Chain A
């Protein structure tokens, strides 16, 4: 599982910092090799290009909920298409909270 035990304070993270943290979670949860948070393409389509399956996406969504303390609805999964899209989604959840 992702190593970060506590929730992130999103106010201390700029967009790039948030994307790096999301990339770290993806790398950890999907056990990706040959990529680091720094080199992760934030526009990479997780389904069409990375081939993530529905159960792995669910796992990632649940860890994102833990780490960023936002509620992610199952119906919102199509919005989690890339690191950039996840960053925008999380920001929108915070703004709407």
Chain B
């Protein structure tokens, strides 16, 4: 089945058929819905992120957890909120405007989260969602979901996990549930997303991206990438009010090549340039408040060749505006991607209707071979 030929009911903005050989940027922006959406997302171009492991403790111990796969878990914890406040004040002073607080489980250190929020109020907490986080901490809350309850019981050691997560987060506008597709849980997404939609919760999609050295059964292959893309598009179609995603997000994250090979990752771990952007300003702090440029990225223990992580894409695809600005279709696709990223990561940002219903393959950089 050709996925792009499927029937669509996802809200999209109809557009006139326009075909020409070469487009100039301002001609693309002159298309009404394109210029309007560009101005909307452009207001957030000032976001400059860094990430922080705020604790090395967790209330769960999930198989394949990124955090406990790597070395960061051995860093000494800094429990003093004052130390975090001082660090985040210094971060703000060097231009950081957006923080991703992760760990192990950040909900175990609410005083640290509060101190961070008091210093930099835009950000996101990556949580397993089992514990509540005080309402005064106005960050986006990304609640991780790894499959249905049977899978969660097996892999995360917690029975009734989705029910518990919904008890904690139902009706909380900060929460976005993040369903991570592995090779083994593709079919389970139907029931999980239906349950979340019935609870009026928002959900977005992530791709399992293998940690360095991992060769286990969760790693995607060609068949699971295609099946995941089909499932993502179906769910986006079926639950348009609750699934924060775009057709192009599905296409970009299920290519045979990972994000680094497709787009050229701009995180310092992959990018030696300190000229501008993430290569210049991004840091990944461990719990002992140290950082190391050589390993700095949003998912430091991930194999770059297999990286399709939603956090990575949010930065890496977004940064590649230039190569998407050659045609209205690719630019609409990019705008949908950025609109999705903002809705997922920025509390209060409302996702617009997707503009591109038949997304093209990710564009290559000038001079590169045709890929995927």
Contact = CB atoms under 8 A, between A and B. Distances in A.
B366 A56 contact: no
B25 A65 contact: yes
Nearest to B39: A1
B276 A51 contact: no
A88 interface: no
Contacts of B29: 1
Contacts, number: 56
A49 interface: no
A63 B321 CA distance: 13
B365 interface: yes
A22 to B, nearest CB: 16
B323 A74 contact: yes
B26 A1 contact: yes
B24 A66 contact: yes
Contact of A78 (B266, B273, B366): B273
Interface residues of A, number: 23
B262 to A, nearest CB: 14
Interface in B8-28: 24-26
Contact of B319 (A54, A59, A73, A78): A54
Given A1-B29, A2-B26, A66-B25, A53 B325 contact: no
A85 to B, nearest CB: 12
A55 B25 CA distance: 14
B219 interface: no
B276 A66 contact: no
Given A65-B25, A66-B25, A58 B366 contact: no
Nearest to B320: A74
Interface residues of B, number: 27
Nearest to A47: B276
Interface in A43-84: 47, 51-59, 61-63, 65-66, 71, 73-74, 77-78
B277 A74 contact: no
Contacts of B319: 54-55
A48 B273 CA distance: 14
A63 B25 contact: yes
Contacts of B46: 53
Interface string B265-295: 0100000010111101000000000000000
Given A53-B45, A65-B25, A66-B24, A77 B276 contact: yes
A55 B46 CA distance: 8
Given A56-B45, A74-B322, A63 B26 contact: yes
Interface in B232-285: 266, 273, 275-278, 280
Contacts of A5: 26
A37 B263 CA distance: 35
Contact of B95 (A1, A51, A62, A66): A51
B48 interface: yes
Interface in B143-160: none
A5 B24 CA distance: 11
Nearest to A63: B25
B321 to A, nearest CB: 5
Given A54-B266, A77-B276, 9 more contacts: A2-B26, A51-B95, A53-B46, A53-B276, A58-B322, A61-B322, A74-B365, A74-B366, A78-B275
12 contacts: A2-B26, A53-B277, A54-B276, A54-B277, A56-B45, A59-B42, A65-B25, A66-B24, A66-B26, A71-B366, A74-B365, A78-B273
